[in-house]
Amino acid sequence: MAVVEVRTRKVINMVKVSIEVHNGTARFMVGVKAKNIEQALRIVQTRYPAKVTTVKFPIDQEDIFVEECAA
């Protein structure tokens, strides 16, 4: 009798958005994956607390939703 180990993959539904970070004349874009747009914005605001961050619109409807596999 053979023993077969079956692993299941947990899929996490996420959004992928671009966040613009700027301070004066310096500007750059950051790509973020998070559970929702608000969380993505908070992640970037935490990383760059003294900078102005905004979600870059329009968001591509085909690419916004992504699935990440949990390790």
pLDDT score at 64: 72
Cβ atoms of residues 14 and 35 within 8 Å: yes
Cβ atoms of residues 12 and 71 within 8 Å: no
Looking at residue 11, its amino acid is V
pTM for the model stands at 0.70
Q: List phi, psi (to 5°) of 39.
A: -65, -40
Closest listed residue to residue 46, CA positions, set 32, 56, 26, 60? 32
1 three-class SS: coil
pLDDT score at 2: 63
Cβ atoms of residues 70 and 9 within 8 Å: yes
- pLDDT by 10-residue block (mean), the chain, 71 residues: 68 87 91 92 93 82 68 54
